[in-house]
Amino acid sequence: MIPRYSLPEMSGLFSDVSRMALWLEIELLAVEGWSLAGVIPSEAAKACRERAPVIDEAFVSAVIEREQVTDHDVAAFVDVVQNAIGPPEGTWIHFGLTSSDVVDTALSATLTRAADLLIEAQDGLVVSLKRRAIAEAEVPTMGRTHGMHAEPTTFGAKLALWCLQADRDRARLRAAREGIAVGKLSGAVGTYSNIDPAVEDYVCSSLNLRPVPSTQVIARDRHAEYLWSLASVGASIECFTTEIRHLQRSEVAEVSEPFGAGQKGSSAMPHKRNPVVSERLSGLARLLRGYAGAGLENVALWHERDISHSSVERIALPDASLLAYYCIRRMTGLVDGMVVHADRMRSNLDASAGLAFSQPVLLALVRSGLERDAAYRIVQRDARRAMDEDRSLRQVLDEDPEVELPAGELDEAFSLSHALRNAHRTIDALGAVA
């Protein structure tokens, strides 16, 4: 992933140094597991740990150089580690293991740590949305369907729905973490033919992973679930940012992204303040969906394994983790800094000239004894007349001899407070959000 969208705490997990450090830890734990099983002398296991190489850029370079000969990254890694430890103890490194035992278990450990960062970030987004929803709970705004004015709602209710969706994404991240927090050290086709299951138990327990049955590789539906959970996060963020983009349009102007001192919206037009963060996050969500598709393609492998998944995962898993983390963090900042123009919201609501209250009028006419279709046609006709004549719906209704309703009933039908009397229920639902 390019540095522009990489935050250091996440990118550090996927560096070559971090990856090979986990490989080494698994190799050393396996030696210790064999020692506990009575196969490897305890002194040899201790020597391997004490003389293990430091994993740094120089070590990574040595492995890359060796890989030019082996054309196999794990084999090259094992060679360099064994040389660093030296004989005879170094020969116990990788005893009874196949490459996937090391690579898959290390990958699971990395993705588990990545998931922890993602969940922590999602916690922050949920908290921010909940706080803003409660703060804006009483701010009326026009609800829109098909991009058209529909009925009044509150901006707090809108944000509360976002918060509830973000909370569901958090649950999906937690489930994906549970699914990927697994390891395997069971050999070439998963039958433990050359390794004691106790070694697998020891290594996985030391890494806080669960050992699971497998072929030579851990089943890739787990990785697909992880990528899908990230795509779901991205889809929700795109949902939120698409709304912000619409509400920031010049003609609407109800919400705007924070605009920093010294920031420029355009190189040519000084007046511009564009929703650039929302647009950026909307675009990155497309990549997250693409990686989810790649993850699903990886589920079907030949027999007990092939490596068609490997090249995909070297790109998709780090990039998707980095992008999702970046998106969550930037979305949280956007929510915290979002400027709400309550006066403009009320102005836009009032600009409907009462048309947003057509349904309460319809229901009042039905209660008065009219058949629903007849009542509908009356209100539809008067609404069209109000629009054509640039008048309020209430004025047109007052002049319509077919509308026989007491003034009090029409007052209630056009009452904003009456329309929003139950909107608090959406806010109340946030009480269940931790």
- Distance between CA 126 and CA 430 in Å, rounded? 10
Report the SS3 class of residue 339. strand
- Distance between CA 21 and CA 279 in Å, rounded? 38
Q: Are 48 and 90 in contact (CB under 8 A)?
A: yes
**Residue 370 neighbours by CB under 8 Å, 6+ apart:** 378
The two structure tokens encoding residue 396: 């047109």
Residue 391: count of CB within 10 angstroms of its CB: 15
Output DSSP code: residue 148.
E
Beta bridge partners of 140: 154
Closest CA to 394 of 383, 380, 378: 383
- Distance between CA 31 and CA 93 in Å, rounded? 7
Closest CA to 241 of 187, 166, 188, 346: 166
Beta bridge partners of 424: none
- Distance between CA 201 and CA 217 in Å, rounded? 16
- Distance between CA 408 and CA 418 in Å, rounded? 13
CA atoms within 13 A on the CB side of 273: 15
Report the SS3 class of residue 233. helix
Catalytic annotation, residues? 146, 266
The two structure tokens encoding residue 356: 């947003």
The two structure tokens encoding residue 143: 């609800």
Report the SS3 class of residue 242. helix
